[in-house]
């Protein structure tokens, strides 16, 4: 594992309340930090499923865990977890699911993946480079109005219109195919910089979310994860920006409140509440943030299946 300590690892393990003979899912393997920690708490009868749509993450899982008979490795989006569990009659039997959302450190560190403005490389940004449209192709065809929307909605970028206009003008002269050129365009377009933040941060986040349909994938996986859990099973989700966290918070809150119409008086036994919230939002402490700055924006939310 190269000494890598994943974000909020201790809090996530505590949240999952791991039983040595339980069945657990790490739906975002990355480079396996959380998975390795879960395995340490499992006995011979315990089982762990690891899921990732990034082929490099899947290759890492096979190298690191492939000989462990307790482990099942799934090369797919976590939104399809239910289909894989149903195929082996395990849907509804999972004791805990962990999702660590967003981009992984290895993806950011490899310039050729195109996720980072800090490393010049091809403008790709796909979690699975074998499928779908890369960021360069998308930027070459997207209409300016749609680009503005993406930058505002997914990056919360206040200079979205300026940046979109600069990108559209630049691509008329030459295709934007590298992260370095895109970052330079953004830097020129942004009139004022946020202290301590690169001007390309919000745009790169927005494009990555759009290219990988990250919010759509999250919306799809939440009900899938709920159905996968057994009674008493825990769902633990780590998010890194408000767009993700709001969706997770709303889903858990709504399932904890139940399906009763707000204007209809019902007895407690007539309301179907499928989740119980387990504590509030949890964040990394100072020591963890000092060791891993990425943890600063991490939020962990936990809920338990009721029925």
Q: Detail the residues annotated as belonging to a binding site for S-adenosyl-L-methionine.
A: 32-34, 52, 78, 100, 107
Distance separating alpha carbons of residues 201 and 179, to the nearest angstrom: 12
List, as residue ranges, the binding site: 32-34, 52, 78, 100, 107
Distance separating alpha carbons of residues 257 and 52, to the nearest angstrom: 31
Q: Please, are residues 81 and 218 in contact by the beta-carbon 8 Å criterion?
A: no
Residue 18 CB contacts under 8 Å (≥ 6 apart), including other chains: 24, 38, 41, 42, 95, 96
Distance separating alpha carbons of residues 20 and 250, to the nearest angstrom: 31
Q: At what angle do helices 144-155 and 201-212 cross, to 10 degrees?
A: 100
Q: Please, are residues 77 and 7 in contact by the beta-carbon 8 Å criterion?
A: no
Q: Please, are residues 45 and 21 in contact by the beta-carbon 8 Å criterion?
A: yes
């Amino acid at each position: 594992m190269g000494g890598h300590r994943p974000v909020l690892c201790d809090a996530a393990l505590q949240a999952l309340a791991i039983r040595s003979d339980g069945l657990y899912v790490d739906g975002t393997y990355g480079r396996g930090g959380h998975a390795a920690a879960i395995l340490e708490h499992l006995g011979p009868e315990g089982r762990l499923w690891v899921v990732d749509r990034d082929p490099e993450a899947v290759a890492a899982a096979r190298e690191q865990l492939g000989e462990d008979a307790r482990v099942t490795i799934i090369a797919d989006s976590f939104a399809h977890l239910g289909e894989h569990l149903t195929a082996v009659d395990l849907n509804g039997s999972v004791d805990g699911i962990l999702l660590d959302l967003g981009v992984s450190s290895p993806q950011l560190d490899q310039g050729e993946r195109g996720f980072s403005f800090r490393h010049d490389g091809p403008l790709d940004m796909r979690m699975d480079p074998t499928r779908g449209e890369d960021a360069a192709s998308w930027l070459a065809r997207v209409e300016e109005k749609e680009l503005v929307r993406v930058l505002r909605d997914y990056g919360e970028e206040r200079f979205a219109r300026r940046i979109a206009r600069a990108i559209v003008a630049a691509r008329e002269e030459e295709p934007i195919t590298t992260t370095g050129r895109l970052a330079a365009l953004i830097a020129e377009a942004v009139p004022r910089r946020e202290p301590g933040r690169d001007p390309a941060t919000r745009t790169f986040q927005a494009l990555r979310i759009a290219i990988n349909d990250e919010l759509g994938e999250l919306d799809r996986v939440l009900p899938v994860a709920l159905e996968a859990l057994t009674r008493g099973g825990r769902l633990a989700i780590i998010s890194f920006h408000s767009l993700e966290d709001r969706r997770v918070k709303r889903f858990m809150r709504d399932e904890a409140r139940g399906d009763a119409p707000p204007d209809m008086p019902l007895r407690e036994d007539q309301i179907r509440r499928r989740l119980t919230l387990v504590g509030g939002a949890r964040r990394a402490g100072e020591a963890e943030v000092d060791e891993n700055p990425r943890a600063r924006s991490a939020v962990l939310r936990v809920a338990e299946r009721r029925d």
